[in-house]
Structure 1
């Protein structure tokens, strides 16, 4: 964990506050897209991916959405190696699953800690947004070239215009789901957005976020030329609820039934994605297979409201302590993940369950 900053003495009465330190202007979204362009074939594929995910959420497509990948990307080369493995698996299971790569480059923090590759490309560094934006954009365009849809959690709304064109499924996390700017951002984003229940485990905040995102809003945004501008969103009808647990898990049949009831009471579609990690596994990656097995049973028994499953997965099993020395490229630096050899059987089990449900 990064050390906290020492307290600063307040300014003398009547004196202006000091200006914040800066390191120079950032590239505009248009400049970054010119430097790391999204090829037309990738852009067309992303548009198709978004529509496919919408079809799964609306149950026009009977397959199951599965979002799999590392808790956070810290090594682009290793992340692309993982993407290659997942892309092969996605083709194998494409009749039953819509597999999406978790490509998270921003990390929310309760107090302090590493905030992700986009904002701090050197783990433990002071932060280099210019280098992070370039490294992050490069990674996302390369990952999109694998043919996989990409998942992304939007933490800082200012960065959304730099990366949104590469993303097919988005998340608003448990720490930001109550935030009005994030709800308004979700109403503007051009892809389905999952709203996670807050860390307390309650559903009301996330359900309200789904409602808010469905409406049109006026919000500030960074324009393609880098200036702050006003945009009018049209509302995101594909916003939906993600159950990620809290102090206790919320993935069993009774929890799913309660989620359906909360959505129905709010006049929203009864569709739920369940995160097998975080509060639902007690942040113990070894419990994820048990969570997935329970969800597969519910799916096989015909629960069509359970439209998706999230799995924290990476090349190697577990996590590493960043303070122990040189970072290993294949091991998570944030939440512990299931290694690839333990992930593949879970995809197989979910495919079997989705096939049984559709039959």
Structure 2
């Protein structure tokens, strides 16, 4: 084969034993998982805000950001469910570029997967210990999620992965909400077919084992916009898009219909400040239509300590994205308070 083995990675159980969760963290996760489940099943009318960096590139800056979120959360927790985005592996359209902390715990150094899986577990654990908030991550590689499956309270499956069979089947074995993004084409049918698959039971090979899943009743959709055949962004957060999604859900026998609107990516054409306007429009649509208010459970926002983005070089700014551009903290804080008032 045209590959070489760099290292034998530890089994997830062994890594968890070496870096265990405290009893306090276990209790925090249990409580937050119950609260999040109540939102997606309709027992709670809290609005979900999944917010944080495009990529979690530095433990100190990520934890500082999450600690700031925790302070805001104390003021809005009666209305909102804030879930920090701590995304540790990143899809790359061409396969080139920074692939996340899982690959490169130091962005300007060579990949080191063993150091990476240790780094992401330590960062997620520290974030919970300091803030009391459990986080969201992206399931870019199904075989890797076992290193974090006792930590995360939400997972997303990206636009490039949502048609992949292994992602869909693995999602069916999760016990937390999993958001299935629309593919880059914007096709709603593909996205909803992924939810059908994730909500169903399957028998398949997972990490060398023959497994059968229960089906995930909290699988739902994430609208992130699409692109046409010319590469032009086509947003799908407008009122008409949400009504179309509602009708598509009504045509299918799915449990707990729910949608999260990703305000960045192809919805904003990566014009990061547009996220403020897009979130406002989504809130208006929810308040105008009671059925949409039940369906649209939250928004996803890309945000960091400093706005914009930067290259990976020796002059990097602390807390500024090295992948897609993000809102800065001041705009984010104002936006969260606005969401709490209007949701």
**Is TM > 0.5 for Structure 1 vs Structure 2?**
yes
Look up the match of 1:333. 322
- Return the offset for 1:113: 1.8
Cα separation, 1, equivalents of 2:107 and 2:334: 32
- Return the offset for 1:28: 1.6
Cα separation, 2, equivalents of 1:124 and 1:158: 25
Structure 1 residues 300 and 345, CA gap change in structure 2 (3 angstroms): farther
Cα separation, 2, equivalents of 1:318 and 1:340: 11
For the residue of structure 1 that corresponds to 2:306, the secondary structure is coil
For the residue of structure 1 that corresponds to 2:56, the secondary structure is coil
- Does 2:301 correspond to 1:321? no
Cα separation, 1, equivalents of 2:162 and 2:335: 28
Counterpart pick for 1:82 among 65, 70, 75? 65
**Cα RMSD for the two superposed structures:** 1.4
Counterpart pick for 2:187 among 198, 202, 218? 202
- Does 2:127 correspond to 1:143? yes
Counterpart pick for 1:152 among 137, 141, 144? 137
Look up the match of 1:266. 252
Cα separation, 2, equivalents of 1:219 and 1:47: 28
Look up the match of 1:113. 97
- Does 2:152 correspond to 1:167? yes
Structure 1 residues 300 and 190, CA gap change in structure 2 (3 angstroms): same
Look up the match of 1:132. 116
Aligned length: 331
Cα separation, 2, equivalents of 1:125 and 1:220: 34
1:153-183 Cα distance to aligned partner (Å, 9 max, x none): 0101111110111000110010100000000
Contiguous gaps of at least 5 residues in structure 2 = 227-232
Counterpart pick for 2:269 among 282, 289, 299? 282
1:231-284 Cα distance to aligned partner (Å, 9 max, x none): 211110000011011121111111100111111112224321101111111111
Look up the match of 1:252. 238
Give the TM-score normalised by structure 1.
0.89
Give the TM-score normalised by structure 2.
0.93
For the residue of structure 2 that corresponds to 1:165, the secondary structure is coil
For the residue of structure 2 that corresponds to 1:317, the secondary structure is strand
Cα separation, 1, equivalents of 2:170 and 2:318: 32
Cα separation, 1, equivalents of 2:31 and 2:168: 24
- Does 2:331 correspond to 1:342? yes
- Return the offset for 1:46: 1.1
Cα separation, 1, equivalents of 2:181 and 2:247: 17
Cα separation, 1, equivalents of 2:247 and 2:283: 21
Contiguous gaps of at least 5 residues in structure 1 = 1-16, 223-227, 355-359
Cα separation, 2, equivalents of 1:39 and 1:220: 31
Q: Which has the larger radius of gyration?
A: 1
- Does 2:275 correspond to 1:295? no
For the residue of structure 1 that corresponds to 2:307, the secondary structure is coil
Cα separation, 2, equivalents of 1:271 and 1:248: 21
Cα separation, 2, equivalents of 1:39 and 1:341: 33
Cα separation, 1, equivalents of 2:257 and 2:147: 32
- Return the offset for 1:124: 4.5
When structure 1 is superposed on structure 2, of 61-70 and 289-298 the one drifting more is 289-298
